Structure 1
Amino acid sequence: MLTGAVADDFTGATDLAAALHSRGLRAAVVIGDRPVPDEQVAGLDAVVVALKSRTAPVEEAVRASLGAADRLLGWGADRFWLKYCSTFDSTDEGNIGPVLDALRERLGTDRSVVVPAFPGTGRTVRDGSLWVGDDLLEDSSMRHHPLTPMTRSRLRDLLSPQTPATVTEIGLDVVRRGADALRDALDAAPAGYLVVDAVEDSDLRAIAQATAGHRLVSGGAGLALGLDPITPGAAGAADTAGAPFPSFSRRRLVVCGSASTTTQAQVAAAAAAGHPTRKVDIAQALADPEAETASLAEWVRGLDDASVPVVYSVGQPSDVVPAGALPAGGAGAVVSASEVVETVLSGLVLDLVADGTVDQVVVAGGETSGAVVGSLGVGLLTIGPLLAPGVCWSAATTDDGREVALVLKSGNFGAVDLFSSAWEALA
């Protein structure tokens, strides 16, 4: 294995692994610290370790990220990525800066590029500022994210409060002089972090070439798409013909814990297309999560086998209650209703997979994806068909040996008809 990556959430991990896979690399996702036999990673070109650390306490995120890096070092990785969201989801405390600082120290390198740009999904960096489509990040829907509200757009302003390291900007004019000129500029820059502009895929190709010798890089999955593809049949090319994606024949399900406007539009499109939809009852989930899970499971089982039910919940900043409102709440703590919804949705998927009702699931939302994979006891994800930039099918085996197909989707990614069209790739 040549490349090891640490991803701060599960959707980002599959996003990066799918991008690497599309370039001809044999890539897979390992789930957190779950045990994976060495033979399952032997022969891979890249392994992405999926963590649930994006909004974890800083110390916890650093500890988990270093643990992931140590596993990758043990498997023979000699080049590393830190994968975070293309909208740079974080707060002034972290976790991107503290994790990068810890990885730089562990890997013995003095610098890393910062490249969240992913033009295929509308994320670009111009003059050091991050854009979402035609809007600056601070003017996009991410401004109102319940956990990581993004109220600034300049990446240096976002990263500097998180790290004592120097943050340098490399403009588009340098990028477009070509890989050699960009490499010289990166080498001449002060140690620390190098925010690099990228507006088009060709810019990502120049950055990928200029950083080919870097021990550590960071950013979104777009940077991986800048890699030169490996010719099929060449050494190191993914043997997709020799390892076909498994077939699945049971029922389908969509669960959405994301609050993004994209996911809301996808839910609305699914309802308009005739899919059965049901919103999680927040009050019932807070009062009795197990009862709400059971109610949703009963509803799904009562539907026609050919239907594609969509269970969704839109978290809001107001969905925060004293932990004492929950049966297991601790005194003085606060619990976001979105966390309770993750428990309900992951429990729903587990119940329906465990009894053989469902074996194909689309999950929208990074936190929800982490909860679902954790409840299923999955250790490794095999990358399958790509559905859209940043969205792919993956195959996994649960704790009790059941095969399941999963889409772990960032809330902001995918076509509006994804919940209807995703299944075509498995036909």
Structure 2
Amino acid sequence: MTGAEGGSSAPRVCWYGDDFTGATDTLAEVARAGLRSLLFLGVPTPEQLRRAGPLDALGIAGAARAMSPDQMETELHAVGHFMAGTGARVLHYKCCSTFDSAPHVGSIGVAIRELRRHMPNPLVPIVGGQPGIGRYCSFAQLFARAGSAPEIHRIDRHPVMSQHPVTPMHEADLRRHLAAQGVADIRSVPHTAYPRLRQAADAPGVEDWIDSIIDTSDGPVLFDVIDDEQLPIIGRLIWRAAACVPLLAVGPSSVQQALACAHAPGRASAPTAPLAAATGPVLIVAGSLSPVTARQIAACQQYTRQPLQVQRLLDDPGYAAQQVRQAASLLAAGRNVLVHTDRPAQAVTAQQAGATASGTAQLAASIVAASAQAGKRLSRIGIAGGDTSSQATLALGLWGLAFHSVLAPGVTVSVARSDDPVIDGVELMLKGGQMGGDHLFDDLATGTA
């Protein structure tokens, strides 16, 4: 890298994931595009950068999605300063593909305001969909699939996201949703306005269109995405604008898909090797309250289920210690173990959801440590739930993640990087509440080969 970090070359792109599960999905996209990449779990130290080696794409997984505006400003100021110093032309703020956020928690508006200080291009592209995982933006309205079910829902009528315990989505128009977070005067580019790019003869018209958008935009621009064919055009536009002045782009992992399409037109993402069957017992800790995760728990047949009484876990250290011993004993006997919370009968508050994520994350770290002490070092672990994943990776003592394989669309298996030999090299699945089919957990144990 260049600048303060030292080294021989600058990364082409940097990204910050507002939670850990989404950050690993972006890691998968840049790795499949053939870029040397690593995801750090905080602003990396010089020694961590040295150990990582030359990188084309550098990510930082954070927890901004669960932070207050003041916390976000502190976190993102350090991130923005570091990423600008790498010399990268594009800084991607990776938000959830459902854009769930609010003025008081996980505000995308706060992220844009802070990171623009470090990436001075006035244009801020906002990519509004990711068709590969069932997310679509049409005339600025966001639509999403629920899990692996085929139905598509407008986001404010989505069976899960409209009732999210922390950031329920009550507005489908992303312009209005982000305006409530302080992002004013968002220009919308509808999918009907895109030029066609299907043959070489179309290229001059596309370039003229890109120039016109860049020349007439000096703020946030929301780009519809209803089909993967639109991504190369958006990618060309972002690279063109960033060539002049470093640029902030906002959106899900489709931002990286767009950049990859434009950088190497016509080249599909590199195929990845299927996940092999686990060679030892697998631990999954599910702190997600999502109905999608509930279906995955109900469908799994490869695990001994260990349900948790959440309130006892949070209030009674003796109960937590008992759960650790029980799971470690099963793992020592070679059994796969699924430790999970149950969806409560009543809606939970944001504070309760945060406490649950923290408690289950610490439980996961304690089980891993207890298993190692008992002579059974785990080599494959799964964490379900965005906030739980963010907390668990910190509790486990990771400093980085390298790409391993894609378990399902939007679900990545990564290789842990840690100074702790118990954790270093562990294959780790981090899964958001909305991601994966019903048999995802079994696939983590049996593999996909």
After superposition, where does 1:23-422 map in structure 2 within 5 Å? 23-33=33-43, 35=45, 37-93=48-104, 95-133=107-145, 134-140=152-158, 141-178=160-197, 179-180=206-207, 182-213=209-240, 214=242, 215-226=247-258, 227-228=260-261, 249-270=279-300, 273=301, 275-288=303-316, 290-303=317-330, 305-314=333-342, 318-320=347-349, 336-354=351-369, 355-356=371-372, 357=376, 358-402=378-422, 403=424, 404-422=426-444
CA contact (8 A) 2:276 2:447 kept: no
Change (3 A) 1:76 1:374: same
CA contact (8 A) 2:285 2:383 kept: yes
**1:6-47 Cα deviation digits (max 9, x unpaired):** 111111110111111111111111002463522134311101
Change (3 A) 1:310 1:153: same
The code of the aligned residue for 1:82 comes to Y
C-alpha distance in 2 between matches for 1:50 and 1:189: 33
**1:49-69 Cα deviation digits (max 9, x unpaired):** 011111201121122122112
C-alpha distance in 1 between matches for 2:302 and 2:38: 35
**1:260-303 Cα deviation digits (max 9, x unpaired):** 22111111111xx2522122212212322x33332222222332
CA contact (8 A) 1:83 1:220 kept: yes
SS at match of 2:416: strand
The code of the aligned residue for 1:15 comes to D
Alpha-carbon distance, 1:164 to partner: 4.8
Change (3 A) 1:314 1:338: farther
TM-score normalized by the length of structure 1: 0.87
Alpha-carbon distance, 1:92 to partner: 3.3
C-alpha distance in 2 between matches for 1:20 and 1:73: 19
More displaced stretch, 81-90 vs 68-77:
68-77
Aligned position for 1:330: none
CA contact (8 A) 1:278 1:311 kept: yes
Change (3 A) 1:296 1:182: farther
TM-score normalized by the length of structure 2: 0.83
The code of the aligned residue for 1:268 comes to A
CA contact (8 A) 1:176 1:203 kept: no
More displaced stretch, 140-149 vs 216-225:
216-225
SS at match of 2:330: coil
CA contact (8 A) 2:413 2:428 kept: yes
Q: Paired residues, what number?
A: 404
- Do structure 1's residue 5 and structure 2's residue 3 form an aligned pair? no
More displaced stretch, 147-156 vs 64-73:
64-73
RMSD over aligned CA atoms reads 2.8
SS at match of 1:367: helix
C-alpha distance in 2 between matches for 1:203 and 1:14: 23
